[in-house]
Amino acid sequence: MAVEPPLPPFSAIVVAAGKGLRVGGVLPKQYRTWRGRPLLSHSVEKLREAGASPLIVVIAQGAEDHAREAVGDVADVRFVTGGANRQDSVAAGLEALAGDAPARVLVHDAARPDLPRGVIERLLDALSQHPGAIPVLPVVDSVVVAGPRATMADKAERESLRRVQTPQAFRYDAILAAHRAWVGDTDAGDDAQVLAAHGGEIALVRGDERLKKITFAEDLMDSANGPAFRIGQGFDVHRLVQGEELWLCGVRIEHEKGLAGHSDADVALHAITDAVLGAVAQGDIGTHFPPSDPQWAGARSGRFLEHAVSLARDAGYALSNIDLTIICEAPRIGPHRPTMRAEVARLTGIAESAISIKATTTERLGFTGRGEGIAAQAIVGLAAIR
């Protein structure tokens, strides 16, 4: 990895006090999952990597447990309770730094998780000439001024307009004084406007499209975050032989023959396990539990399924339903179905009502029809954990 030039020392304030209701759902958006982790944790990590210290996270009243869980055990992060609006929240963050005033401070929104280091560099660089600096991007679409009754009043001069992002960078003394002097009773919109109202000149530096704000539910489900729902299928066959135990769905079944295989040969659990692994594209049961490995000899196949479910959870997905078909002439599956569903529910942690176990014969045709083996196929649905 290339050695990056050190940045001048700076502190940072991440504003995460909003209720974030526009994305829908109960949990405020800064605590919801984006690219596998809470949204808030991304900004905190990016700022930490760039050297921000101390780092203040401004949170809503009573949200400290959520925030600690989202950020994890990161040294030098302090939580401060915010105010009624964004401006009050930033002011609370600035005041929390006053005891040991930094030279420079970045004010960032938790809703902009993908923060490139280059933006931080440009902002801090601009502070050598100006008391404030903000990242901006050109306006690409043509722009108009809306008039009454949804008609166009005028065209606007796109060339002179810029879209404003965060973080915004300030000399600490200047922005603190501007916030303390602010007399308006309305929200200023952003901190650059607070400083500008106090006479500070704001430099414009190049922003980055990656800094886009997560505003709507679709933003939380962008392609890098993975789809909301995934499907997997699994198929397996084992031979029926004399002198083996018969295990299906983790249930021991009395039968004249049993299934042969390296583990307990539970063909039904193997099909479900492969379906779960397939849904999250994590190989197959042999990838994780190779038959060549003696530690899996005679192993209960429930362990395989539990492992697959935990891999899916690590990938950000929870099992939502299972549809299993067991293909054999004998034994009859029906009498064992309630016990099987209960066992699969125990292994996967989902409700029995989401577990379908079906059985069919092949009309005495083929290896299953001749009683030489049992086949099983499964389809599973997985929903993203948000």
Q: Which residues of this chain interact with Mg ion, rule CB under 5 A?
A: 236, 270
List, in order, residues 6 or more apart from 148 with CB less than 8 Å away.
Answer: none
Q: How far is the CB of 238 from Mg ion (least distance, A)?
A: 6
Q: Which is nearer to Mg ion, 38 or 373 (CB)?
A: 373
Q: How far is the CB of 346 from Mg ion (least distance, A)?
A: 20
Q: How far is the CB of 365 from Mg ion (least distance, A)?
A: 22
**Strand segments (E) across 190-266:** 202-206, 229-241, 246-248, 251-253, 258-260
Q: Which is nearer to Mg ion, 190 or 236 (CB)?
A: 236
Q: Which is nearer to Mg ion, 93 or 373 (CB)?
A: 373
The DSSP H or E segment spanning 381 is strand 373-384
The DSSP H or E segment spanning 70 is helix 64-71
Q: How far is the CB of 309 from Mg ion (least distance, A)?
A: 17
Q: How far is the CB of 137 from Mg ion (least distance, A)?
A: 54
Q: Which is nearer to Mg ion, 130 or 270 (CB)?
A: 270
List, in order, residues 6 or more apart from 179 with CB less than 8 Å away.
Answer: 87, 90, 91, 94, 191, 194
* Dihedral pair phi/psi, residue 76, rounded to 5°: 70, 15
Helix (H, G, I), strand (E, B) or coil at 242: coil
Tell me the Ramachandran region of residue 183: left when phi exceeds 0, alpha when psi lies from -120 to 50, beta otherwise.
alpha
**Strand segments (E) across 19-131:** 33-34, 37-38, 55-59, 77-81, 104-109
Q: Which is nearer to Mg ion, 46 or 270 (CB)?
A: 270
- Residues 180-203 as b/e (b if ≥16 CB within 10 A, e otherwise) read eebeeeeebebbbbbbbebebebb
Q: Which is nearer to Mg ion, 208 or 244 (CB)?
A: 244
Q: Which is nearer to Mg ion, 127 or 357 (CB)?
A: 357
Nearest residue to the partner Mg ion, using Cβ:
270
Q: How far is the CB of 136 from Mg ion (least distance, A)?
A: 58
The DSSP H or E segment spanning 301 is none
Q: How far is the CB of 239 from Mg ion (least distance, A)?
A: 11
